[in-house]
């Protein structure tokens, strides 16, 4: 049976994404299942991987990109008793999602409750999981706290806004002027980061106190500006190095940004109790796989109950992957673009 997937044979721009046809279906091995993919998530991390700048994946080439997927179990490998054929499942595969069929370890899959839109469900494994674990585990935020979301209109940014609303948090989000409506639609206060020093704007918005927690994926020298917006006892959660990914800063500058996080935590008693931590979803999943399954199950339940509402910015076929990456590179999507392989 013929099937299709996106393939990257060399690192580079959106033009390296090629639609490839195969004649024979992939066969699951021992402990694996074959999934008929119904929805593949796209995002900034996929473009990072495409350019060869993602620390957790450097090949081998060729490969199929796609950080997260949702689909139905199509076939079981040797020794696999579940999830049963026909079960809808979600996975964060890091690569391999832009495809009609994927082979994945059965132990990595999380069942998706019936009645959930696959395109909305695929927003959860990377973006919402990152947001939830940063809020609940890395920062341990409690209801009533005030947080700052840097880049609030992106896929993780909107996930933070959505979850913060559900958790009863007060939110300030930075974004471009064009996306201020997206941020305010979640009940957050929007700050145009191009209109001036957002740190000063945050201080004004909080009566000079600052925020209880801040979330920054820009990285590098930008961490210093975000850290300055913290209230006494506040925490900065760094979770990306976008400036390095886009070529705005060097690897050395990104490394210095990580060093700052560690230094601020060491000097926390001298900084009014302010501290900083680094969050990596892949590292956390490796260290605490049971947390990943539990947290994703919880998020899927929230989606089922309508407590969270992921923003699907667009739904497009696999053949549009190159155009999607161009849009992601440009920025300002205001949600997650989902590829529908069928």
pLDDT band at 92 (very low <50, low <70, confident <90, very high): very high
Delimiting residues of CATH 3.40.50.720 domain(s) in the chain: 127-282
Task: Please state the pTM of the whole predicted model.
Answer: 0.91
3-state SS assignment for residue 315: strand
H helices of 51-197, in order, are 118-121, 129-133, 155-167, 180-184
176 backbone dihedrals φ, ψ, rounded to 5°: -80, 165
Phi, psi of 65 (to 5 degrees): -80, 180
pLDDT in tens, 153-206: 888 999 999 999 999 999 999 988 888 998 999 999 999 988 878 899 999 999
The fold for domain 3-123+311-339 equals Quinone Oxidoreductase; Chain A, domain 1 (3.90.180)
CATH number of the structural domain 127-282? 3.40.50.720
Q: Is the peptide bond before 60 cis (omega within 30 degrees of 0)?
A: yes
Q: What is the spatial distance between Cα 341 and Cα 3, in angstroms, rounded to a whole number?
A: 10
Q: Which residue has the tokens 């909107």?
A: 158
- What do you get for the CA distance between the two ends of the chain, in Å? 14
Exposed/middle/buried for residue 212 (C-beta within 10 Å: 0-12, 13-18, 19+): buried
Q: Rg of the chain's alpha carbons, rounded to an integer?
A: 20
**Length of the chain in residues, anyone?**
342
pLDDT band at 243; cut points 50, 70, 90: low
Give the per-residue pLDDT at 242.
64
Distance (Å, whole) CA 51 – CA 68: 18
How many Å apart are CA 321 and CA 109, to the nearest integer? 24
Q: How does residue 248 score in pLDDT terms, banded at 50, 70 and 90?
A: low
Q: What is the mean pLDDT of the chain?
A: 92
Distances (CA, A) of 308 to 9, 40, 120, 166, 186: 37, 19, 10, 7, 11
Instruction: Give pLDDT tens digits for 163-178.
Output: 999 999 999 999 888 8
The string of pLDDT tens digits covering residues 22-48 is 999 999 999 999 999 999 999 989 999
pLDDT score at 309: 92
Q: Where in the chain is the domain with CATH 3.90.180.10?
A: 3-123+311-339
For residues 321-340, give the mean pLDDT. 90
Question: To which residue do tokens 């992601």 refer?
Answer: 328
How far, in Å, CA of 66 to CA of 7, rounded? 10
């Amino acid at each position: 049976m013929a099937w299709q997937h996106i393939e990257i044979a060399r690192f580079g721009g959106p033009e390296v994404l090629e639609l490839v046809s195969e004649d024979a279906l992939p066969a699951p091995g021992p402990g694996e299942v074959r999934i008929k993919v119904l929805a593949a998530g796209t995002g900034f991390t996929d473009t990072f991987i495409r350019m060869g700048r993602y620390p957790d994946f450097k090949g081998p080439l060729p490969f199929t990109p796609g950080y997260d997927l949702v689909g139905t179990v199509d076939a079981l490998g040797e020794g696999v008793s579940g999830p049963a054929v026909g079960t809808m499942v979600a996975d964060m595969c890091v690569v391999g999602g832009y495809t009609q069929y994927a082979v994945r370890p059965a132990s990595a899959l999380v069942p998706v409750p019936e009645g959930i839109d696959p395109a909305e469900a695929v927003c959860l494994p990377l973006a919402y999981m990152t947001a939830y674990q940063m809020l609940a585990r890395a920062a341990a935020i409690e209801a009533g706290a005030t947080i700052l979301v840097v880049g609030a209109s992106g896929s993780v940014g909107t996930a933070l806004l959505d979850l913060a609303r559900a958790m009863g948090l007060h939110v300030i989000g930075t974004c471009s002027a064009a996306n201020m409506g997206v941020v305010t639609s979640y009940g957050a206060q929007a700050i145009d980061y191009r209109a001036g020093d957002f740190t000063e704007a945050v201080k004004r918005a909080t009566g000079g106190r600052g925020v209880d927690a801040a979330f920054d994926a820009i990285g590098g020298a930008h961490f210093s500006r975000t850290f300055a917006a913290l209230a006494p006892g506040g925490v900065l959660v760094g979770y990306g190095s976008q400036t390095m990914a886009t070529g705005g800063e060097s690897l050395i500058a990104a490394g210095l940004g990580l060093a700052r996080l560690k230094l601020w935590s060491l000097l926390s008693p001298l900084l009014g109790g302010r501290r900083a931590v680094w969050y990596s979803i892949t590292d956390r999943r490796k260290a605490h796989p049971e947390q990943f399954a539990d947290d994703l199950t919880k998020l899927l339940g929230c989606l089922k109950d309508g407590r969270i509402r992921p923003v699907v910015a667009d739904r497009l076929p696999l053949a549009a992957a190159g155009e999607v990456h161009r849009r992601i590179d440009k920025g300002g999507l205001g949600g997650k673009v989902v590829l529908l392989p069928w």
